[in-house]
């Protein structure tokens, strides 16, 4: 179980080759963190020793990938809930078990930690980990407030350690490829990004003992989580700002509990609009009482549209609409002609029927998580922090938290200047 299968090795090699074939320069401009793979083999050290803090659903999912990476030794785990400890030991039977994360941090044999606990605990654990001299992979959203995210970021910078956050789309082959295409200008000027994530379920986990309700369903309570914004928006806002290579400067929106009125405290229905300095807009909306449209980030350029989740892109200029659609347009025109106040100066827009092209020949089997963890292990071993990855994680977290603030306060929230990173200037504000 501790080695990649031949097939997995080939899949990874093919993936890196496919990306490379597109031209390393463009690729590294759009996704500079991929340079981490080029450095593999620069060191004689072959393995890193990782401790996982929080071995619930996500922690175990991450452990499943790391257990198959020959460059990782899953040396320790920490959780406060026995079923999570048992599940983790099923994946890494030899791992040392801790019930207090500070004892795991005191373990000098551990190089790096993966933090996958509920949101309200990330800040304390990440800061303590940097202070203890560990490298950190912290699940998104990084902190419960923008202040916490900023503090984590500067602890990382001042510590000189490696720092990744759980933004796996940064390593998803479809996103990597499409960002290179967007940045090369293939889809023209991007003036709007629409992101949405729809589900039709109560987002609850089964609880055997009512005393465990808040421990198991922490996502539904404000004390621990900011709901759809910190759990889902964080991923999609990162995609939008990666595409636009810019950070929006304000956000407005509305949130409510409209359907699941079951004692939860986080919204089940949110809509946010982020505005960039030049007026370009990015929306995020999410309801969990209808799943028809699923999830997507639609990136709208003057020459084309991209839907990375679906793995497709569409050019604006396509062959003339089929005769049937032209007929519908004409027919609708005539219908409205008959209504005097409607006027006749417009023609209804018929949605584009273009079926588009695939971004990659084959739908990749990975959503980027396994590659993100491989990259983290490489960085820990080679001691090189990949460019821009910590900043992508920081801004994704900051954006979803500012969105939540806009929903809570029902006002436009501006990105505070004091929380913008000047990450080319290598000075900490605290120095
Ligand atoms: N990147 C992604 O796509 C993605 C997907 C799912 C979850 N996540 C993130 O992963 C994190 C965990 O989510 P989850 O679904 O696994 O939650 P979970 O409730 O299944 O697991 C959390 C675990 O942390 C443990 N824990 C709580 N307090 C602890 C403490 N003080 N010390 C040690 N362990 C403690 C719990 O007992 C539990 O086992 C969240 O931040 C979530 O946003 C990320």
If you take atom 32 of ligand 1, which residue's CA is the nearest one?
79
Q: Could you identify the atom of ligand 1 that is nearest to the CA of residue 60? A: 16
- pLDDT, one tens digit per residue, over 10-40 is 556 666 665 555 556 677 888 889 888 876 6
If you take atom 4 of ligand 1, which residue's CA is the nearest one?
58
Nearest residue to 107 via CA among 133, 142, 70:
133
Alpha helices in 229-361 (DSSP H): 234-244, 323-337
Alpha helices in 161-315 (DSSP H): 173-183, 213-216, 228, 234-244
Task: Give pLDDT, residue 353.
Answer: 78
Q: What distance in angstroms lies between residue 137's CA and the mean position of ligand 1's atoms?
A: 13
C-alpha distance across the termini of the chain, in Å: 46
What per-residue string of b and e applies to 286-325 under the rule 16 or more CB within 10 Å gives b? bbbeeeeeebbbbbbbeebbbbbbbbbbbbeeeeeeeeee
Helix (H), strand (E) counts: the chain: 15, 15
Task: Give pLDDT, residue 317.
Answer: 86
Task: Give pLDDT, residue 335.
Answer: 53
Strands 281-287 and 190-197: what pairing? parallel
Q: Could you identify the atom of ligand 1 that is nearest to the CA of residue 59? A: 16
Other Cβ atoms less than 10 A from the Cβ of 425: the count is 8
If you take atom 27 of ligand 1, which residue's CA is the nearest one?
117
Q: What distance in angstroms lies between residue 204's CA and the mean position of ligand 1's atoms?
A: 14
Q: What distance in angstroms lies between residue 110's CA and the mean position of ligand 1's atoms?
A: 20
- Whether the CB-CB separation of 162 and 379 falls below 8 Å is answered with yes
- Whether the CB-CB separation of 260 and 422 falls below 8 Å is answered with no
| DSSP string over 380-426 | HHHT-PPTTHHHHHHHHHHHHHHHHHHHHHTS-EE--GGG---TTS-
Q: What distance in angstroms lies between residue 121's CA and the mean position of ligand 1's atoms?
A: 9
Three-class secondary structure of residue 379 per DSSP: helix
If you take atom 6 of ligand 1, which residue's CA is the nearest one?
58
Q: What distance in angstroms lies between residue 142's CA and the mean position of ligand 1's atoms?
A: 12
Task: Give pLDDT, residue 45.
Answer: 77
Pocket of ligand 1 (CB under 6 A): 53-59, 78-81, 84, 101, 116-119, 121, 139-140, 166, 168, 231
Task: Give pLDDT, residue 422.
Answer: 74
Pick out the chain residues at pLDDT < 50.
1-2, 339-343, 424-427, 429-431
Q: How far is CA 156 from the centre of its chain?
A: 19
pTM over 0.85: yes
Strands (E) in 174-311, as ranges, are 190-197, 250-256, 269-275, 281-287, 295-301, 304-307
Q: Per the structure block, which two tokens stand in for 386?
A: 């990949």
Instruction: Give the DSSP letter of residue 264.
Output: -
């Amino acid at each position: 179980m501790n080695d990649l299968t031949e097939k997995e090795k080939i899949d990874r090699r093919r993936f890196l080759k496919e990306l490379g074939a597109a031209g390393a320069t463009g690729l590294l401009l759009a996704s500079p963190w991929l340079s981490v793979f080029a450095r593999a083999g620069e060191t004689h050290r072959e393995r890193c020793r990782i401790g996982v803090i929080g071995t619930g659903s996500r922690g175990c999912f991450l452990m499943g990938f790391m257990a198959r990476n020959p460059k990782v030794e899953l040396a320790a785990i920490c959780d406060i809930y026995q079923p999570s400890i048992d599940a983790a030991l099923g994946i890494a039977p030899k791992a040392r078990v801790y019930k207090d994360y500070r004892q795991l941090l005191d373990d000098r044999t551990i190089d790096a930690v993966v933090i996958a606990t509920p949101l309200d605990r990330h800040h304390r654990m990440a800061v303590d980990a940097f202070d203890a001299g560990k490298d950190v992979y912290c699940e998104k959203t990084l902190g419960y407030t923008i202040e916490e995210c900023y503090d984590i970021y500067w602890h990382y910078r001042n510590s000189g350690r490696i720092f990744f956050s759980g933004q796996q789309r940064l390593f998803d082959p479809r996103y990597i490829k499409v960002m290179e295409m967007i940045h090369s200008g293939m889809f023209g000027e991007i003036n709007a990004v629409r992101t949405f994530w729809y589900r039709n379920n109560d987002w609850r986990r089964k609880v055997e003992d009512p005393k465990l309700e808040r421990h198991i369903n922490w996502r539904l309570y404000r004390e621990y989580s900011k709901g759809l914004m910190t759990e889902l928006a964080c991923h999609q806002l990162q995609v939008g700002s990666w595409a636009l290579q810019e950070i929006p400067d304000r956000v407005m929106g509305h949130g409510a509990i409209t359907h699941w009125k079951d004692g939860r405290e986080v919204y089940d229905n949110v809509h946010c609009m982020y505005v960039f300095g030049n007026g370009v807009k990015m929306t995020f909306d999410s309801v969990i009482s209808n799943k028809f449209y699923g999830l997507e980030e639609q990136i709208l350029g003057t020459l084309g549209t991209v839907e990375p989740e679906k793995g497709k892109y569409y050019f604006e200029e396509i062959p003339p609409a089929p005769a049937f659609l032209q007929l519908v347009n004409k027919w609708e025109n005539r219908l409205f002609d008959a209504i005097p106040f409607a006027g006749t100066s417009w023609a209804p827009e018929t949605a584009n029927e273009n079926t588009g092209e695939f971004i990659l020949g084959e739908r990749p089997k990975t959503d980027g998580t396994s590659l993100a963890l491989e990259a983290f292990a490489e960085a820990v071993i080679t001691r090189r922090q990949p460019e821009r990855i910590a900043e992508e994680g920081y801004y994704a977290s900051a954006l979803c938290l500012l969105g939540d603030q806009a929903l809570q306060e029902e006002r436009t929230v501006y990105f505070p200047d004091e929380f913008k990173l000047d990450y080319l200037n290598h000075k900490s504000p605290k120095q």
